[in-house]
Amino acid sequence: MQTHLQEIKHHFKLAVSVDCVIFGFNHDELKVLLIESDLKECKGKYSLLGDIVCPDEELEDAAYRVLKARTGLDHVFMEQVQTFGAVKRHPVGRVVTVAYYSLVNIARIERTLSDLRLNWYPIKALPELVFDHAQILEMCHNRLKQQVQLQPIGFNLLPRKFSLRELQHLYEAILDVELDRRNFRKKFLSMDLLMDLNEEEADVPHRPARLYKFDFDKYEQCKKPYLGIGF
């Protein structure tokens, strides 16, 4: 029995971490929050936000801890995506990481960022990333592309009040496609889940557009198929 325990103990010589792909949206661009690496081996490169999971900590709790510490926000949308466990993925030893993505409103988070090494980068203009973080980011972006057409999660990236123009630009940025304006508006308005606030944009360089908000209560009550129509 003792010999068997010694053999098992050898297999516990690895660490488990969580990595969070934190997406935001502003200036019509999908962005991700990155931090400059402090590892000597990775000087000049950038990293996703993550940390080692404590021995008595649940995976999801660790991911929320990272989000809270880095953004100062509670009740952030988050979804687990995939585990990455290549033997030599980390230079300090065997580290298996569980990837999550989350969606935040940049206007809220900018007031809480305190680490000067943290910054938002457009998905289309990323700096060089450490380890396999480019692969993790790509996988999480692909999951976001799928889920944003099936659930109303994209609204986590917008202010509470938004125009249909902003909404279309959001979907175009996430899906990396150009959408027909008339068809896009028709699809959304036909779902009857947008509340017209009888307000217009203020201080904009173009003709002010009407403002809406998503009716989450109505969505939960009727459980209509969301988009599921593909763009």
pLDDT in tens, 211-229: 999 998 888 887 665 555 4
Q: What is the mean pLDDT of the chain?
A: 89
- Higher-confidence residue of 9 and 95: namely 95
Separation CA 43–CA 37 (nearest Å) = 6
Give the C-alpha separation, 217 to 145, whole Å.
24
Where b means 16+ CB within 10 Å and e means fewer, 23-60 reads bbbbeebbbbbbbbbeeeebeebbbbbbbebeeeeeee
What is the CATH number that goes with domain 159-222?
A: 1.10.10.10
Task: Lowest mean pLDDT of 51-65, 144-158, 192-206, name the range.
Answer: 192-206
pLDDT of residue 139: 98
> CB of 130 within 8 A of CB of 37?
yes
Task: CATH 3.90.79.10 in the chain: give the residue spans.
Answer: 2-147
Q: Tokens standing for 35?
A: 């931090």
Cα separation of 79 and 91, whole Å? 27
CATH 1.10.10.10 spans which residues of the chain?
A: 159-222
Burial classification of residue 18, based on how many CB atoms lie within 10 Å of its CB (0-12 exposed, 13-18 middle, 19 or more buried): buried
Q: Which CATH superfamily is domain 2-147 in?
A: Nucleoside Triphosphate Pyrophosphohydrolase (3.90.79.10)
